[in-house]
A = this chain, B = another copy of it.
């Protein structure tokens, strides 16, 4: 009498566990390089048992990408509510993106790295979310650009370069060593808006020290 909706709640949690674990396997070995047996081993679910939760391997990847991307986009929409100042909206875009990147590195790596791995039943759906996400970012940028833009800056290139900075982080960011989400967001937003050079009109001939920390990795 209490349960009017016949959703098997036990199963939903297990699906989430499979999605999380499969993301880790895909992140490590790549989609094509990871086998169903790898995922079976990592999740503890038998090889045949996996197919109760999705139709095939591609569908599993689609489930990961779709839920991840949908969450990121919806989370951003929530954060943007009631915020109308363009610079703050940009900051929230970057913060939302980076925060999810650092808290769910496997899912985000699969999302970034396995963009083209999906066939056309599933691929188009993920592409649709990506287009909405890009359009939202483009809107935010355009409202910033409305107050003036540096010369030689194409809006499309600017936005895609911003995504380049953000999406590249999964290749180098080491938790505990590199800055956390807040600091990384401030750095990227600052770089995007003002560049690395100080904004003062006369930057030449300043002999400051302290930029010798070598960390090639």
A residues near B, CB below 8 A?
29-33, 113, 115, 117, 131, 134-135, 138, 141-142, 144-158, 160-161, 163-169, 171-172, 178-179, 183-184, 186-188, 190-201, 203-208, 210-217
Q: Please give the count of copies of this chain that the complex contains.
A: 2
Q: Which residues of chain B come closer than 8 Å to A117, judged between CB atoms?
A: 30, 33
Contacting residue for A195 out of B167, B184, B193, CB 8 A: B193
Q: B146 to A196, Cβ gap below 8 A?
A: no
Q: Which residues of chain B come closer than 8 Å to A141, judged between CB atoms?
A: 196
With contacts A164-B165, A179-B157 taken as known, whether A195 is within 8 angstroms of B206 at the C-beta atoms is no
Q: A115 to B171, Cβ gap below 8 A?
A: yes
Can you name 28 A-B pairs with beta carbons within 8 Å? A30-B30, A131-B216, A135-B216, A138-B214, A138-B216, A144-B197, A147-B206, A148-B197, A149-B196, A150-B199, A150-B211, A151-B211, A153-B187, A153-B190, A155-B211, A157-B188, A158-B187, A158-B196, A160-B172, A161-B188, A164-B164, A168-B168, A190-B195, A191-B192, A191-B195, A193-B195, A194-B195, A194-B197
Contacting residue for A190 out of B134, B148, B150, B164, CB 8 A: B150
**Chain B nearest CB, measured from A187 CB (Å):** 5
**Chain B nearest CB, measured from A194 CB (Å):** 4
CB-nearest residue of chain B to A173: B160
6 residue pairs, one from A and one from B, having the closest CB atoms: A164-B168, A32-B33, A195-B195, A194-B195, A32-B32, A161-B165
- Alpha-carbon gap, A206 to B148, bound state (A): 7
With contacts A30-B30, A213-B155 taken as known, whether A192 is within 8 angstroms of B190 at the C-beta atoms is no
